[in-house]
Every structure is written in structure tokens, then in C-alpha cells.
């Protein structure tokens, strides 16, 4: 039964991929002369792609918090696995900052490119500076950016301290940070959302899973301030305390 469900979802998602790939290409061609319009349409269709993916995989999402972040905000969240991208993408209209390795994943790399994902290779200092500049530009264009400052997927038992380098973009742009906490409710430790060692096994497990419930907590906004390290620390503390709380 599990493999039949996985196969049916995979076939449906092939159709979803083709549709959104064609839409993405059309948006980049039609709105090539206007960067602002292209950004807005990419954000619009990226969110619908994420919503559609959550529907195909039967993700049930509850959002808890006092309103959604305003445009031009940096959203920072804990990171467990691939479903984080679909769920946060469905909840928020924003561009993702992703590890450079995703640019090598089949199919996902094409959608990530069309979605104007900012790829980060933290091992290369020059590339980190470029990422900071790209995030700053998006924020100053009133576009929200979604970041996983742990810089790795975890097993969901705890939250790893945030890397502070990319927070420099917020300091430069003088834009707010909104911490977001993502919790999965499947009774497993680690949760099936955890990426693990094999991307292939991870995706098969998600395709076979009948339903995945998650709660997204939107925490109070944090002003940028002058110190990226302090900003990263405050954001981390807020996320970790909420994540470990019994709510």
C-alpha cells in the first residue's frame, strides 16, 4: 500500500513539476525587462508550487502567531529536512537561501533556479559576501527572504546554534528579523521529515507517508540593530526556547 501511494504521488508530482516548470520559464521570459515584476510573479508562483506540493504529500499545517511578517523581512527558522521548504514556502511569500548542494539535485535544481533561490556555499568566503549582498538587495526590494541559520538539517531533537555571517545582510538593510519555529507531529525522534544520509530514501519515505502534521510558530519581530552576532544569538534563543517548549 505504501509503495502504491508513493508511486501515485510521484506520477502526480511529475505533472506538477512540468506545469510549474513551464510557468517559471514563461515568467522569466515575459518579465525579463522588469526585475520588480519578475520578483513579484516568481514569489506568487513559488508559493503556489509549495502549496501544491503540500497538498500532494498531504501535509497538514497549523500556523500559530500574531500576524504574518511584512515584506522585506528576514525569516529565520529551525531546519529538519526537505518538508521545511515546502511548508514554509506555502506559509510565506519569500525567497529561500539554500545550501549550494541543492543546485546539483535533479529536478529540484531547476525549480530552485526558476524560483530565484539564493545558493550559499559557506566554505567559500567570497561566495558568502555575494550571498549577503544578494539577500540585502532582495530585502531592499521589499522581498521577504527565508533562511535556515543552522546551516544544516538536524534530527529535530534540538536546535543547533545559528551561524551569524548572513545576518550582516539584515544589519546593512536595516530590516527586521522574524524567528519562526517548525514542529512536526509524527511521534518519531527523529521525525520522518529528517533528511538523514540518503536523499533518495528520504523522498521515498515522504511519498509513502499517509500524512504529516506540522505547526508553524511565528514569533515576535526583532529589530536589526548594529551587531549581527547579537542578532543571531537573540534569534536562536527565541527559536530554541519555543521549539523545546511543550506546546
Cβ neighbour number for residue 36 with a 10 Å cutoff: 11
Instruction: Give the pairing type, strands 94-99 and 144-147.
Output: parallel
> Looking at the predicted structure, is the pLDDT value of residue 168 above 90?
yes
More confident residue, 201 or 212: 212
CATH code of the domain covering residue 139:
3.40.1130
Phi–psi pair at 181, nearest 5 degrees? -115, 130
Number of CB atoms found within 10 A of residue 101's CB: 11
Instruction: Return the bridge partners of 244, or none.
Output: none
User: Degrees (nearest 5) of the Cα angle 137, 140, 230?
Assistant: 90
Residue 99 structural domain: 2-244
Number of domains in the chain: 1
SS3 sequence, the chain? CHHHHHHHHHHHHHHHHHHHHHHHHHHHHHCCCCHHHHHHHHHHHHHHHHHHHHHHCCEEEEEEECCCCCCCCEEEECCCCCHHHHHHHHHCCEEEEEEHHHHHCCCHHHHHHHCCCEEECCCCHHHHHHHHHHHHHHHHCCCEEEECCCCCCCCCCCCCCCCCHHHHHHHHHCCCEEEEEEEECCCCCCCCCCCCCCHHHHHHHHHHCCCEEEEEEECCCECCCCCHHHHHHHHHHHHHHHHHCCC
**What mean pLDDT is predicted for residues 118-131?**
77
CA distances to 51, 78, 240 from 158, rounded to whole Å, are 27, 9, 7
Q: Which three cell numbers stand for residue 74?
A: 528576514
- pLDDT band with cut points at 50, 70 and 90 for residue 134: very high
The closest alpha carbon to 145, from 91, 71, 216, 218, belongs to 71
* pLDDT for the residue 1: 65
When the pLDDT of each residue in the chain is averaged and rounded to a whole number, the result is: 88
pLDDT digits (tens, 9 = 90+) for 185-208: 988 778 888 877 677 788 888 889
Amino acid at each position: 500500500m505504501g509503495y502504491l501511494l508513493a508511486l501515485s504521488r510521484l506520477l502526480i508530482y511529475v505533472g506538477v513539476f512540468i506545469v510549474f516548470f513551464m510557468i517559471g520559464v514563461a515568467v522569466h521570459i515575459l518579465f525579463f525587462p522588469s526585475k520588480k515584476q519578475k520578483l513579484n510573479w516568481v514569489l506568487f508562483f513559488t508559493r503556489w508550487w509549495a502549496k501544491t506540493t503540500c497538498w500532494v504529500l498531504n501535509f497538514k499545517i497549523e500556523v500559530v502567531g500574531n500576524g504574518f511578517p511584512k515584506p522585506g523581512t528576514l525569516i529565520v527558522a529551525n531546519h529538519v529536512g526537505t518538508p521545511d521548504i515546502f511548508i514554509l514556502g506555502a506559509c510565506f511569500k519569500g525567497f529561500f537561501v539554500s545550501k549550494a548542494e541543492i543546485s546539483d539535485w535533479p529536478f529540484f535544481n531547476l525549480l530552485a533556479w526558476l524560483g530565484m533561490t539564493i545558493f550559499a556555499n559557506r566554505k567559500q568566503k567570497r561566495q558568502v559576501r555575494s550571498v549577503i549582498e544578494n539577500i540585502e538587495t532582495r530585502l531592499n526590494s521589499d522581498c521577504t527572504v527565508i533562511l535556515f541559520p543552522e546551516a544544516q538539517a538536524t534530527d529535530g531533537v534540538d536546535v543547533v546554534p545559528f551561524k551569524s555571517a548572513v545576518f550582516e545582510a539584515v544589519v546593512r538593510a536595516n530590516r527586521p528579523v522574524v524567528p519562526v519555529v517548525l514542529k512536526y507531529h509524527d511521534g518519531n525522534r527523529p521525525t520522518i521529515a529528517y533528511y538523514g544520509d540518503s536523499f533518495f530514501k528520504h523522498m521515498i519515505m515522504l511519498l509513502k507517508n499517509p500524512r504529516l502534521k506540522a505547526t508553524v510558530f511565528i514569533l515576535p519581530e526583532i529589530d536589526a540593530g548594529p551587531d549581527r552576532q547579537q542578532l543571531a544569538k537573540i534569534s536562536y534563543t527565541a527559536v530554541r526556547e519555543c521549539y523545546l517548549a511543550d506546546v
